A and B are shown apart, each in its own frame.
Chain A
């Protein structure tokens, strides 16, 4: 299959897994494998000598609510994000976005942690989690073999296409995000050549609080596939923050979102078209929020 791989390990504890990662030469981490395998076949990912399957590490597939936060383990599958009642109730935006993810077969194997660490600017769970103020936990062993943990805001985790703040000796253990407040309005939009089984041409995740058609609070607008990483459209968020949606504001905000996008031309679309989509669809999303 791949002649670079000399050793396959499937540890049954987190410490074992982290110990393997801490070895010199590190390891290629395998969870669902739904991106890893095609990427390696296409020559875009080179395997390390050790292939580390983390799926047998216990506890990393948890879905829990505690202290006003939804906690999701890195091995939670995309299918779980679509179907799990806690995700549907407390992170409807994430659940909705996950239902745009690939096909059922891929959703059953692909993991949340894999989608995040893969760090594709077009990753389907990235923009909703950024719009929901998610944080991620990275764990690793220090020089004395003691487990160290650090939490980072998801926004800032991504440093480029396929690149993140994760150090080679670290694993992403899980994600936490505030449970959705009652007055949260969310919207997710994904463009593609076909309505299913597609990589997004662009994606937009929107979240804000709004009671009784009044002003918007805590506005979050995340854009996917329009920059080297998914981005928060912060200037547009600031334009909308504390305002009531008017036709004029919607128009200005949509133009602002498009100006924050810096997409490239690639096999899926041109940069020009991506900006047009951000403009048109931000406008549609805000109109829909305004009308509901």
Chain B
């Protein structure tokens, strides 16, 4: 047992390349995901889903399934009289009663001794339907007399949610935003440009499919092994759905095989799994098949978007007016609320005196949309940054100068009330442009558009703004931390922040070790059990490094204060004269090592007046909630990025090859360089897939390609060359100056690629994706015209 800690590490951990703490286990195949957990007596659950897009359920016969040996329970809505609707507006009964509204709808569920048996039992359940006409186009959903997806339910009590009361229209959610006076902005404009954009369906494609295990103990306490990104919110919600005290719900998160926003909501399968556990009195595991993952997971929300903006001849933006229509699908998940993020891009990405934004999300019989990395910002930024290019052309400015003219600088406050206390936007634009030789290439390729040849090169620039210091959506945007330093000087960092593969536990460990002067090996992280970890709002809004990081730093500082206060009398000095470095306590002025940490901790513990070093901290970012008009400084910091992409377009086939991405990201400060590069590279590729290959084909409510053969993720050969720069704007509130970056890299890729295709070919494409056929059609004028987005009166 060595007590002398090595101090060969660099003097600071900040900015170093720290491998992820969970990487060795993952690389060696030792990580135990929910799929790998086998509890004694565990049963396996499976769900029977609707085979109709929109229909009445006339009859369900489960008798054959119940009779199958090895089947422990078969349940339908009739077996769960106390079902409560779930979802963002409580419009989704986990087991459908008399009507199915989309192909994925849950009708019955089985718990059996094996997964095979459970799935076989499903085939024995008979369901008789009466088809209803289906609404599978968002615009049709708005038409007078349109089939109602959630028609009013007789006998509903006032105040009942949509799932119990229904609605007399198909509007799931709407938002109306305004700052300034758009009429005045129009009057002041020299040029006004209007464009319509259509964004398609994509889905998360997490490597780990969805799964959950539910188990009740003899006292009726519920234990969930869940992949959720928001364990503390779900603890409360599950309790509500099950009519039990929240303190009786415990959520353990096994390592999660990818989240990307897909696990922000509770889905029917999770509640149904709990019903099965309750019905059988045994633990039940429910894990999706890959096909089910495609069919029954939330999608990124498809959006139609009409953007009208003006500027003066000198490039000053004057106003922007936006209408969007969102296909919500049959039920409401977080996808319906993405306009809250989109409006920030519309209102605040550039300096804009006048802005209005009106949007509705409408019910349809399509798959329902959830939250997905970027949360609407990919859709909004695709439109804005394509549109900016047209405006620049209209006044004869180059795309870089036009953006720089309108780009925010540090200290500005936007019409929406975002305050940019740190802002590296202008630097991002300049660095990305300079390192990619953007202007030179842009002019060169513009000149070559009409030259003969099969392959055309183009460059495109696009930028983005996203929250980087949390987002005050819930009552609190905070995170709690407990730090325990044991007799061997080992630190246990207990944080509310979940690890979903993004690397948060590594960066949090790093921040704590930096405060305590310890190597990264001196810390382990506990972050996955609501019975142990303090509260956190969840993994979303690129907030974990910022919020949980500040929380962890605060807890570490308290531990350090406690240690140095105890140490000061022994070394006949003031606590301020001491520091923790190199695994021990040192004299600040001279760096003299006074004692190593384990020995000192033991001397505190095994003393007359014994004490342990355990500290807690709760960090609440100094942001504010939106007011009723969606105005306010919702995040404690804001992140910026600019990306230049270079593409090669094959005129013979329409295939677009992404050659190079030059990105510049205002990340506040680089903490873990390795982790940061991983986030950026992964996000770039996710944005590339959104733009070029991924397309969840939904036709008549049916997903035509629910598999990795026909749903095409970007594969290794297409990953472009990347040149990523980091702008360190040193945010005053950020942990060591850092800002959130998790969602940022995916956001402007589609716009940059659209702009590059236009630079290469002279053809502007305003709908995604840029698959070879769609690009080829665009080059030959054979893409359908996009009708203007319908406006819906408030």
CB of A194 within 8 A of CB of B715, answer yes
Residues of A within 8 A of B655 (CB): 191
What is the bound-complex CA distance between A192 and B716, given in angstroms? 15
- Asked if B714 is an interface residue, CB under 8 A from chain A, the answer is yes
CB of B777 within 8 A of CB of A273, answer yes
Contact A280 B652, CB 8 Å, known A267-B697, A268-B710: yes
Residues of B within 8 A of A214 (CB): none
- Asked if A241 is an interface residue, CB under 8 A from chain B, the answer is no
- Asked if A55 is an interface residue, CB under 8 A from chain B, the answer is no
CB of A195 within 8 A of CB of B773, answer no
Residues of B within 8 A of A38 (CB): 707, 709
**Stretch binding the partner chain, chosen from A73-81, A179-187, A196-204, A232-240:** A196-204
CB of B291 within 8 A of CB of A41, answer yes
What is the bound-complex CA distance between A194 and B705, given in angstroms? 16
Q: Closest residue to B454 on the A side, CB-wise?
A: A284
CB of B776 within 8 A of CB of A276, answer yes
Contact A267 B710, CB 8 Å, known A191-B772, A273-B777: yes
Residues of B within 8 A of A196 (CB): 715-718
Say how far B747's CB is from chain A's closest CB, in angstroms.
22
Q: Closest residue to A191 on the B side, CB-wise?
A: B653
What is the bound-complex CA distance between A197 and B713, given in angstroms? 10
Residues of B within 8 A of A41 (CB): 289, 291
What is the bound-complex CA distance between A273 and B653, given in angstroms? 9
Counting contact residues on chain A (CB < 8 A from B), the size range is 20 to 34
Q: Closest residue to B782 on the A side, CB-wise?
A: A272
What is the bound-complex CA distance between A97 and B581, given in angstroms? 61
- Asked if A3 is an interface residue, CB under 8 A from chain B, the answer is yes
List the count of A-B residue pairs having beta carbons below 8 Å apart.
Answer: 57
Say how far A240's CB is from chain B's closest CB, in angstroms.
20
Within A244-292, the residues touching B (CB, 8 Å) are 267-270, 272-273, 276-277, 280-281, 284
CB of A194 within 8 A of CB of B709, answer no
Q: Interface code A187-220, partner B: CB below 8 Å = 1, 0 otherwise?
A: 0000111111111010000000000000000000
CB of B715 within 8 A of CB of A197, answer yes
Say how far A271's CB is from chain B's closest CB, in angstroms.
11
- Asked if B693 is an interface residue, CB under 8 A from chain A, the answer is yes
CB of B712 within 8 A of CB of A194, answer yes
What is the bound-complex CA distance between A191 and B773, given in angstroms? 10
- Asked if B492 is an interface residue, CB under 8 A from chain A, the answer is no
CB of B291 within 8 A of CB of A42, answer yes
- Asked if B430 is an interface residue, CB under 8 A from chain A, the answer is no
Contact A193 B712, CB 8 Å, known A3-B120, A270-B773, A273-B777: yes
Q: Closest residue to A102 on the B side, CB-wise?
A: B709
CB of B653 within 8 A of CB of A281, answer yes
Residues of A within 8 A of B291 (CB): 41-42
What is the bound-complex CA distance between A280 and B780, given in angstroms? 13
Residues of B within 8 A of A66 (CB): none
> Looking at A198, A267, A270, A281, which has the most chain B CB atoms within 10 Å of its CB?
A267
- Asked if A1 is an interface residue, CB under 8 A from chain B, the answer is yes
CB of B776 within 8 A of CB of A273, answer yes
B718's partner among A195, A199, A201, A276 (CB-CB below 8 A) is: A195
Q: Interface code B186-227, partner A: CB below 8 Å = 1, 0 otherwise?
A: 000000000000000000000000000000000000000000
Within B305-338, the residues touching A (CB, 8 Å) are none
Within A144-192, the residues touching B (CB, 8 Å) are 191-192
- Asked if B98 is an interface residue, CB under 8 A from chain A, the answer is no
A199's partner among B454, B709, B782 (CB-CB below 8 A) is: B709
Q: How many residues of B contact A (CB 8 A)?
A: 29
CB of B704 within 8 A of CB of A273, answer no
CB of A269 within 8 A of CB of B705, answer no
> Looking at A193, A196, A201, A281, which has the most chain B CB atoms within 10 Å of its CB?
A193
CB of A193 within 8 A of CB of B653, answer no
What is the bound-complex CA distance between A190 and B582, given in angstroms? 60
Residues of A within 8 A of B130 (CB): none
What is the bound-complex CA distance between A142 and B416, given in angstroms? 83
What is the bound-complex CA distance between A181 and B655, given in angstroms? 34
Residues of A within 8 A of B704 (CB): 267
Residues of B within 8 A of A199 (CB): 709-710
Residues of B within 8 A of A269 (CB): 773
- Asked if B524 is an interface residue, CB under 8 A from chain A, the answer is no
What is the bound-complex CA distance between A120 and B771, given in angstroms? 23
Say how far B249's CB is from chain A's closest CB, in angstroms.
35
Say how far B782's CB is from chain A's closest CB, in angstroms.
8
CB of B693 within 8 A of CB of A194, answer yes
CB of B653 within 8 A of CB of A194, answer no
Within B440-471, the residues touching A (CB, 8 Å) are 454
Residues of B within 8 A of A284 (CB): 454, 652
Say how far B605's CB is from chain A's closest CB, in angstroms.
54
- Asked if B116 is an interface residue, CB under 8 A from chain A, the answer is yes
What is the bound-complex CA distance between A196 and B301, given in angstroms? 28
Contact A198 B712, CB 8 Å, known A277-B653, A280-B652: yes
What is the bound-complex CA distance between A192 and B704, given in angstroms? 17
Q: Interface code B674-685, partner A: CB below 8 Å = 1, 0 otherwise?
A: 000000000000
Say how far B227's CB is from chain A's closest CB, in angstroms.
23
Say how far A98's CB is from chain B's closest CB, in angstroms.
17
Say how far A251's CB is from chain B's closest CB, in angstroms.
14
Q: Closest residue to B772 on the A side, CB-wise?
A: A193
Residues of A within 8 A of B653 (CB): 191, 277, 280-281
Residues of B within 8 A of A281 (CB): 652-653
Within A42-59, the residues touching B (CB, 8 Å) are 42
Residues of B within 8 A of A197 (CB): 715
Residues of B within 8 A of A272 (CB): 782
CB of A1 within 8 A of CB of B116, answer yes
What is the bound-complex CA distance between A119 and B215, given in angstroms? 48
A195's partner among B289, B454, B717, B777 (CB-CB below 8 A) is: B717
What is the bound-complex CA distance between A272 and B782, given in angstroms? 10
Say how far A161's CB is from chain B's closest CB, in angstroms.
16
Say how far B688's CB is from chain A's closest CB, in angstroms.
11
Say how far A36's CB is from chain B's closest CB, in angstroms.
14
Say how far B109's CB is from chain A's closest CB, in angstroms.
19
Q: Interface code B651-669, partner A: CB below 8 Å = 1, 0 otherwise?
A: 0110100000000000000
Say how far B394's CB is from chain A's closest CB, in angstroms.
32
Q: Interface code B638-658, partner A: CB below 8 Å = 1, 0 otherwise?
A: 000000000000001101000
What is the bound-complex CA distance between A41 and B294, given in angstroms? 14
Say how far B294's CB is from chain A's closest CB, in angstroms.
11
What is the bound-complex CA distance between A42 and B711, given in angstroms? 14
Within B698-756, the residues touching A (CB, 8 Å) are 704-705, 707, 709-710, 712, 714-718
What is the bound-complex CA distance between A268 and B782, given in angstroms? 17
Within B74-128, the residues touching A (CB, 8 Å) are 116, 120, 123
B714's partner among A42, A192, A194 (CB-CB below 8 A) is: A194
What is the bound-complex CA distance between A37 and B497, given in angstroms? 40
Say how far B323's CB is from chain A's closest CB, in angstroms.
30
What is the bound-complex CA distance between A41 and B653, given in angstroms? 32
CB of B718 within 8 A of CB of A194, answer yes
Say how far B525's CB is from chain A's closest CB, in angstroms.
34
Residues of B within 8 A of A268 (CB): 710
Residues of B within 8 A of A280 (CB): 652-653
CB of B715 within 8 A of CB of A267, answer no
B773's partner among A1, A3, A273 (CB-CB below 8 A) is: A273
Residues of B within 8 A of A42 (CB): 291, 707
What is A's interface to B at a CB cutoff of 8 Å? 1, 3, 38, 41-42, 191-199, 201, 267-270, 272-273, 276-277, 280-281, 284
Top 9 nearest A-B pairs (CB, nearest first) are A280-B652, A273-B773, A267-B704, A193-B712, A196-B717, A197-B715, A3-B120, A269-B773, A193-B693
Could you list 4 further interchain pairs (A-B, Cβ under 8 angstroms) beyond the known A3-B123, A197-B715, A201-B773? A194-B714, A199-B710, A267-B710, A273-B773
A-B contacts, 27 listed (Cβ < 8 Å): A3-B116, A38-B707, A41-B289, A41-B291, A42-B291, A42-B707, A191-B655, A191-B772, A192-B772, A193-B712, A193-B772, A194-B715, A195-B718, A196-B716, A196-B717, A196-B718, A197-B715, A199-B709, A267-B697, A267-B704, A269-B773, A276-B780, A277-B652, A280-B652, A280-B653, A281-B652, A281-B653
